[in-house]
Amino acid sequence: MNQTATKYFPLKTIESVNYIISTCWV
């Protein structure tokens, strides 16, 4: 479970940042 979280952590971070930027941009 820890490996999975670490593996997908960057992806989740990018999605979160993208979502925040998109929301703030609009």
**In one letter, which amino acid is 10?**
P
Report the pLDDT value the prediction gives residue 15, as an integer from 0 to 100: 86
What's this model's pTM, rounded to 2 decimal places? 0.43
Q: Give mean pLDDT, residues 17-26.
A: 85
Q: What's the number of domains the chain is made of?
A: 1
List the domain range (segments joined by +) for residue 21: 1-26
Report the pLDDT value the prediction gives residue 6, as an integer from 0 to 100: 61
13: burial class by Cβ within 10 Å (0-12, 13-18, 19+)? exposed
